[in-house]
Amino acid sequence: MVKEKIYINISFDDLHPEDGWGNKGDNVITSLLKVKEQFSDIKYTFFTVPNFQNIYENKWISLIKRRLHLFGIRNSTIAFSKILGSPFMLSRHTLWCDFIKQLIRNKTFELGIHGYNHYSPYEIPAAEFHNLSQNENLAKIQSAIQIFQENKLPFTWAFRPPAWGVNPTLQSDLLNLGFQYLSLDPDLKQLIYDPKKHFFSIPQNYSIEDTKHEKVFEHLKENNFLFIKGHLYEKLENGIKTETIENLTHLLISLQSEYQLQFIFIHEIEELYLDNQLKNVYKI
């Protein structure tokens, strides 16, 4: 009996070079590559922060930045980036970038854009795009694109906002800049295509900490795609750690017993859709 084919995308947020992230010894990437030993054709999409600012946990800096905004200084984030020296700017980590490029060439990794620095001076510190103006949207997104291009890091025109922080013009601004794949809603369960604006809205069907695998099989009764999501930070519920990697592996093994698995990058979605390979895509 021929098994039905299902298409699986696995994405993680917050990829960036950080303290302790060497090169091939990096624990997070190593743990994901171990899954590849069991599923040789597995693929990962990483929503990447090109100038990560690990300052949103610092309450004093957050307070000062909020005060600056009260006085109308709208670019305080950029000012603080310069003061702190942008230690996680991709251009400061050429060996790390080279390692990621190799994984892209090996068709193991794909990069999407996850904001510029993952910081907001407003009430939700990690929600970078929450409450921003259109000009601020464009400045941040264009700066992010420039960093990727200057470091010759190939990326897919896919975007997911840090901490799901959005504002009224973010979607249209992204489309005007050429983005084709938008992941703007954590509660979206259906893949959506807009032929007029020529973009896909990417759903989130399963989070790697969820042990209720029966929900996945229920979803697959009507759909032949599955979008799996996690974070790189171990401290988060769906962060990469021993238990979530084991849970993900067990899910894939269970799925393999029932279906033919095809792992996909986000940039492959349009071609699959045009070839009528994806069923139950909602068209608006």
Query: Which pLDDT value is given to residue 22?
Result: 45
Give the number of other Cβ atoms within 10 Å of residue 271's Cβ: 10
Helix (H) or strand (E) holding 210: none
Amino acid at 173: D
CB 52 within 8 A of CB 118: yes
Range list of β-strands (E), the chain: 5-15, 44-48, 51-52, 88-89, 109-113, 158-159, 181-182, 192-194, 199-201, 206-207, 225-231, 260-263, 282-283
> Which two structure tokens, joined as six digits, stand for 119?
């910081």
- What residues are paired with 46 via a beta bridge? 12, 111
Please choose, from the candidates 10, 7, 3, the residue with its C-alpha nearest in 3D space to the C-alpha of residue 232. Answer: 10
Q: Give residue 102's domain range.
A: 5-283
CATH number of the domain that 270 lies in?
3.20.20.370
CB 228 within 8 A of CB 11: yes
CB 90 within 8 A of CB 117: no
Question: How many folded domains does the chain comprise?
Answer: 1
Query: Which pLDDT value is given to residue 234?
Result: 81
Q: With 0-12 CB in 10 A as exposed, 13-18 as middle and 19+ as buried, what is 135?
A: exposed
CB 41 within 8 A of CB 6: no
Please choose, from the candidates 140, 177, 132, 143, the residue with its C-alpha nearest in 3D space to the C-alpha of residue 157. Answer: 177
Q: What is the pLDDT along the chain (284 residues), one digit of tens a residue?
A: 789 999 999 999 999 886 544 443 466 788 898 999 999 999 999 999 999 876 544 555 556 655 655 555 445 555 555 555 577 889 988 988 999 999 999 999 999 999 999 988 776 778 999 999 999 999 999 999 999 999 999 999 999 999 999 999 999 999 999 999 999 999 999 999 999 999 999 999 999 999 999 999 999 999 999 999 999 888 889 999 999 999 999 999 999 999 999 999 999 999 999 999 999 999 99
